[in-house]
Amino acid sequence: MKILVTGACGYHGSKLVPILLNQNHKIIAVDTQWFGNYLKNHKNLKIIKKNILDLKKQDLKNIDTVIHLASIANDPMGDLKQELTWEISCLATMKLMENALSNNVSKIIYSSSASVYGLKKERNVTEDLSLEPISTYNKAKMIAERTILSFKDSINISIIRPATVCGLSPRMRFDLSVNMLTYQALKNKKINVFGGQQIRPNIHIDDLMNVYLFFLNNGSKYNGIFNAGFENLSILKIAKKIQKVVNSKIHITKNVNDVRSYRIDSTKLLKLGFLPKKNINNAINEINDYYLNKVDNVKMNCFSLEWLKAQQSKLLQ
């Protein structure tokens, strides 16, 4: 298959592209490379350093499937440059879909976010519940979903709403809850927990890669919207899991106003036959094994918000 991956140099993309190449797919990797490029050269890989807003019809020539990952990829980054967040998630997604349609692309896989639900009291947040996004990032993801779905009569569409991802990737992110708290434990022997009772859904990055492959290999069979997250856990419980692996103290700051607390239910995906193989414990152990002696060498670009803030005059035009 010939696959165009947007945001291919990011946390998901730099893990996904080598897997796709191993399966003999031909990949066009499009990315602005805000956080660098960790993709290795390969005969079946073409890397294009480009903003997806500038993609033209010919860029999608002979593409079978688009895996759309490019986005400003969390709440605080979305607030940093709100207009750009809307442009990338909505305007660029619309242009991408129009170019996909005029090139007869047969399938789009979109990485939305479980955060589109906003705050929910329900224990089982399923795909049919209303969306009440809070931040610019969540709102732009919701509109991107709707833009993509408006093409559903002509293109097969699988929209994935991943939970917060954890685990190792060539382009590492230490701004995601499990990864960040494990980093703090390794670096400072102290885990800072703000509040701690907030529930967050989680998915191991290897499972998420398998989710992408699952929809890629099932072509037109599984269209629609699917949650992807298998462990709903409070931040404090995550910290306690880390403490069991990395010798560290937990410091709790009470009375914080982080209201984001939600859990997702992925029964719809599980009922299709998808089986997760890993969990948060695997991610903590893998990060500990890899970074135990390298934690002082972690680069600033692993902290997406800080990196974009520092580089914004150069990167966010």
Ligand X SMILES: NC(=O)c1ccc[n+]([C@@H]2O[C@H](COP(=O)([O-])OP(=O)(O)OC[C@H]3O[C@@H](n4cnc5c(N)ncnc54)[C@H](O)[C@@H]3O)[C@@H](O)[C@H]2O)c1
Chain positions contacting ligand X, by CB under 6 A:
6-7, 9-13, 30-35, 51-53, 69-71, 73, 88, 92, 111, 113, 162, 164-165, 171, 173, 176, 304
Find the shortest distance in angstroms from Cβ 255 to ligand X.
27
DSSP 68-128: E--S--SHHHHHHTHHHHHIIIIIHHHHHHHHHHHTT--EEEEE--GGGG-S---SS--TT
- If the CB atoms of residues 31 and 127 are measured against ligand X, the closer one turns out to be 31
What is the radius of gyration, based on Cα positions, of the chain? 19
Task: Tell me the closest approach of the beta carbon of residue 242 to ligand X, in angstroms.
Answer: 17
Please state the closest distance from residue 153 (CB atom) to ligand X, in A: 24
Rounded CA-CA distance 259/272 in Å is 33
**From the CB of 243, what's the least distance to ligand X, in Å?**
22
Is residue 225 within a helix (H) or strand (E), and if so which, with residue range?
strand 224-228
Which residue number, 71 or 223, has a Cβ lying nearer to ligand X? 71
Q: Identify which of residues 252 and 298 has a Cβ nearer to ligand X in the complex.
A: 298
Q: How far apart are CA 67 and CA 72, in angstroms?
A: 16
Q: Which is nearer to ligand X, 96 or 105 (CB)?
A: 96
CB-nearer residue toward ligand X: 89 or 184:
89
Q: Which residues of 234-260 are buried (b: 16+ CB within 10 A; e: fewer)?
A: bbbbbbebbbebbebebeeeeeeeeee
The answer for residues whose C-beta is within 8 angstroms of residue 60's C-beta and 6 or more apart is: 4, 66, 96, 99, 100, 103, 105
Angle at 166 between CA 160 and CA 168, to 5 degrees: 115
What are the C-alpha distances in Å from 84 to residues 45, 264, 296? 28, 28, 33
Nearer to ligand X, 12 or 107 (CB): 12
Q: How far is the CB of 310 from ligand X (least distance, A)?
A: 15
- Token look-up 């998630």 returns 89
Residue at shortest CB range from ligand X:
10
CB of 156 to ligand X, least distance (A): 19
